[in-house]
Amino acid sequence: MADEGGPGPGSVEVTLRRDLGLLEVLMIGLGPNIGSTIFVLVGIAVGIAGPAILLAFLLNFFITLLTAVSYAELSSAFPETGGGYLWIKEGLFPPFGFLGGWMSWVGHCIACAVYAIGFGLGVGALFSQYGISLFGLTTEDITKLFAAIIALAFIYLNYRGVKGAGRSEVIISFMLVGIIVVYMFFCLAALVGGNSVPQAFDPFIPMGFMSIATSMGFTFMIFEGYEIVAQTGEEAKDPERTVPKAMFLCITISAILFIAIAALTLAVLGWQPIAELAAAGRGQEALVVASQKVVPVIGGALVSLGIIIGSIAAVNSVMFSSSRVSFAMGRDGNLPSVFGKLHRRNQTPSAAIFLSGGIIIFASVFLPISQVAAVADILILLLFVLVNVAALSLRRKKPDVKRHFVVPYIVPVSLVAICTKMFLAGSLFSYDPVAWYLALAVIYVGLFIHYFAKGRKEIEKVEIPIRAPLSPEELRKYRVLIPIDDPKSMALVDLGCIIASKNNGEILLTSIVEVPTAVPLHAIDKKAVEEKKSMLEKVKTHAELRGVPTRAVVSVSHDVVTAIIDLAKEEAANMIVVGWKGYTRTKKRIFGRKMDDILRRVPCDVIVLRAEEKLRPENILVLSGGLWHVSKATEVAADIARAEASRVTILDVIVDERYAVKGTEYSKRLTKIVQSAGVQVITKDIRPETIVGGVVAESLDYDLLVIGVSAAKHWKKFVFGPVQDRIAQNAKCPVLVYKRVAGAGQAPSPVTESEELEEPQEPGTRPQTEE
């Protein structure tokens, strides 16, 4: 499937593009770990074990590490998307491979139901705190209604292929951690102020030692996030190191936060009032009650908001993971093949998403939260047992596979992990026997499907390699990166050839196949890849006919912008040439979401070209100014004019006579730049009422308008500058805009904000000044 890019005509390389860094991978796992459970399950767990829940969290941390080390070793050796399911399938004999995937899928769906219920509880608590009535519905009805609403919302978002995991998870998780920190601060302030409960932790183990094991089993799902982290192996940068590191950070941060939250809540309320709430079926409200006691003004609304935000983070991640597992099973033939097929238009695993959503909605609407959590805990614990067995088996079956992380003393470590998790799963029978019956029913239904209704054959996968890094010698070459999305974008290639030829460099063409977040990269439609390859082959031939060395890469990625920026960094690109179709700006976007993001994140100089199919200008207009961007833009204009035998005009726009002399000096300097290239050049002065109106009017008589960006600060709502943005959008001829990036070439000289080119409120301005 992958054609290595080489010097031969028409050869195009196809590669997977890893988009997620350590922070994104960590937050994907941390979302479900803390999610709404940090606010909802603590009170219920105190009702099971009293203050000993603190010991239960600590022991769970160490027991989780016993399996996490196996996950770390397996993910460093087999980073493919699928996680525990694929390792169990590879390491164990049937039907355990199927059961591993089945329990992972259903277990995560049921865990997702806990988070969905949490969302409903958060909304219901807010309504109750502010006296809001919703058509006379009870708090329980509101909880179920909004649990179903958030599930349906994420079903739709995943079905449509809207990005849900990764960078958005970072924002949501930071918001959640912020609310947790605020809650902890007010609890500490209350305790320092003497507002503590006597004997809040006495007796420490009021319900017997077995209650500790039961509470450990009940709260074990709070550590499930590292299984979701394992699902990101295919998308994570340097997955052999990033994924294990994210797993351990995820577990450690979660343990610290849960222990701290539980300890502070116990100190503020005392364990007995919390246990009474749990006995009345209201244990999930414990932190809301504590917040009402210690948080001024907003009171319990703080925790209610935390529950809502945490639920969004958790549902987001778990929906992402659960649909992927069922999708992988459908493609492997372990579930009916409909699970492994992509929607024709959205390119998402619609059947996997809808079935996962159906399980989530059923569990959240028809089962109490404590029972839902117990079922999820049982299935996840049994899944981890199988992963530990698979780790032992794969050590024996595939000893030669390189493992970047190796579990020391894996046999005793895995055996202890297996025994402790079986014990914790069994302890939940005393807490809720029905939960065990439901878990067994899930397993039996799975076995029935495995033997009587599974897919007949595997669906073909597209094998795409990860690109090898370039050698130091190759990285020293001058390189122009050109993203191509339209086979008619020959103007971009013409410009790239001119720049590369001048610098004795090469062109790197790239086109991105964007894959929805819910779909693993290797599951991309082969036809989409072939279409991109065919397009780049034609464009590559056009560039090579102009005598410029050219390579072409089709990247399969979840994010177009990240793929382009990362490729530019990996290839040490000196210049990026991107095309823009001239769409009008919106309130939030200037040149469109992707274009704006590329221009703000580029690691090197960038040229934006709004042009027709080919670049053949006879008359080029250069907007005069003093900034370094304008000087480089003028150099490019001279190069184009020399290559196409064009004429160049330097346009000096004067709306304030005080700066006419300065403008003339800038025009003379730019004229010398063009003349040094041996190109015919003239200067022209105009005195319009506004800069934008004058330049747009002049553009009617030219084939190409060349401008440099202003010194507008990064945080301003401009891409090129307040004047340049409007000129680029309204010009009546093709436009070339040059942006030079500090660090990509010569460092900029200082410039004051008063020296920037800006559209004045009243007629009269001065030209751009040199940075």
pLDDT band at residue 283 using 50, 70 and 90 as cut-offs:
confident
Cα separation of 246 and 237, whole Å? 12
According to the model, what pLDDT value does residue 19 have?
76
Cis peptide before 95 (omega within 30 of 0): yes
CB 262 within 8 A of CB 282: no
Judge whether residue 409 has pLDDT over 60.
Answer: yes
Phi-psi map region of 605: left, alpha, beta (phi>0 left; psi -120 to 50 alpha): beta
Cα separation of 43 and 487, whole Å? 60
According to the model, what pLDDT value does residue 760 have?
32
Phi, psi for 602 (deg, rounded to 5): -60, 140
Phi, psi for 236 (deg, rounded to 5): -80, 140
| H, E, C per residue of 339-362 | HHCCCCCCCCCHHHHHHHHHHHHH
Judge whether residue 319 has pLDDT over 90.
Answer: no
Cα separation of 27 and 32, whole Å? 9
**What value does the mean pLDDT take over residues 264-275?**
92
**What value does the mean pLDDT take over residues 703-717?**
72
CB 356 within 8 A of CB 319: yes
Beta strands in 405-549 (DSSP E): 479-483, 506-514
pLDDT band at residue 81 using 50, 70 and 90 as cut-offs:
low
According to the model, what pLDDT value does residue 455 have?
54
**What value does the mean pLDDT take over residues 318-341?**
81
pLDDT tens-digit profile of 348-390?
888 888 999 999 999 999 988 889 999 999 999 999 999 999 9
**What value does the mean pLDDT take over residues 473-486?**
89
pLDDT band at residue 322 using 50, 70 and 90 as cut-offs:
confident
Helices (H), 490-525: 490-502
Nearest CA to 24 out of 567, 559, 598 is that of 559
Helices (H), 432-489: 433-452, 472-475
Residue with tokens 């397009």: 535
Least confident of 15-29, 59-73, 390-404, 502-516: 15-29
Nearest CA to 426 out of 374, 481, 496 is that of 374
Judge whether residue 747 has pLDDT over 50.
Answer: no
CA 445, 448, 450, 455 dihedral sign is negative
Phi-psi map region of 592: left, alpha, beta (phi>0 left; psi -120 to 50 alpha): left
pLDDT tens-digit profile of 184-221?
999 999 998 887 787 888 899 999 999 999 999 998 88
Judge whether residue 175 has pLDDT over 50.
Answer: yes
pLDDT tens-digit profile of 410-458?
999 999 999 999 999 999 998 899 999 999 999 999 888 888 766 555 5
According to the model, what pLDDT value does residue 193 have?
85
Beta strands in 580-618 (DSSP E): 605-610
Distances (CA, A) of 715 to 113, 747, 769: 40, 20, 20
How much is the pTM?
0.76
Residue with tokens 């219901």: 124
Cα separation of 226 and 494, whole Å? 48
Cα–chain center distance at 66 = 29
**What value does the mean pLDDT take over residues 600-623?**
87
According to the model, what pLDDT value does residue 163 have?
56
According to the model, what pLDDT value does residue 167 have?
56
Half-sphere exposure of 536 (CA within 13 A, CB side): 29
According to the model, what pLDDT value does residue 267 have?
92
Strand order in the sheet with 575-579: 13-16, 550-557, 506-514, 479-483, 575-579, 605-610, 735-739, 704-708, 619-623, 647-653, 681-686
Cα separation of 111 and 360, whole Å? 8
Residue 280 tokens read as 């009345």
User: Residues for the chain: how many in total?
Assistant: 771
According to the model, what pLDDT value does residue 165 have?
47
Nearest CA to 265 out of 197, 176, 194 is that of 197
Nearest CA to 461 out of 554, 332, 343, 346 is that of 332
**What value does the mean pLDDT take over residues 226-234?**
80
Cα separation of 387 and 99, whole Å? 11
Judge whether residue 95 has pLDDT over 80.
Answer: yes
Cα separation of 483 and 563, whole Å? 10
According to the model, what pLDDT value does residue 188 have?
92
- Rounded to the nearest integer, the mean pLDDT of the chain is 83
Cα separation of 724 and 737, whole Å? 8
According to the model, what pLDDT value does residue 771 have?
35
According to the model, what pLDDT value does residue 454 have?
60
Judge whether residue 53 has pLDDT over 70.
Answer: yes
Judge whether residue 494 has pLDDT over 70.
Answer: yes
According to the model, what pLDDT value does residue 611 have?
82
Amino acid at 713: K
According to the model, what pLDDT value does residue 750 have?
34
Percent of all residues in the chain with a pLDDT value above 90, rounded to a whole number: 39
Helix axes 369-397, 433-452, angle to 10 degrees: 50
Residue with tokens 């907007």: 623
Cα separation of 300 and 223, whole Å? 26
According to the model, what pLDDT value does residue 453 have?
66
Cα separation of 102 and 85, whole Å? 8
Residue 16 tokens read as 């997977």
Helices (H), 551-592: 560-570
Amino acid at 160: R
Cα separation of 233 and 19, whole Å? 11
pLDDT tens-digit profile of 720-734?
677 888 888 889 999
Half-sphere exposure of 63 (CA within 13 A, CB side): 28
Least confident of 375-384, 404-413, 591-600, 741-750: 741-750
Judge whether residue 29 has pLDDT over 90.
Answer: no
CB 28 within 8 A of CB 320: yes
**What value does the mean pLDDT take over residues 308-327?**
82
pLDDT band at residue 562 using 50, 70 and 90 as cut-offs:
confident
Judge whether residue 92 has pLDDT over 80.
Answer: yes
Cross-strand pairs, 705:
621, 735
Least confident of 25-34, 223-232, 490-499, 745-754: 745-754
Q: What is the largest CA-CA distance in the chain?
A: 93
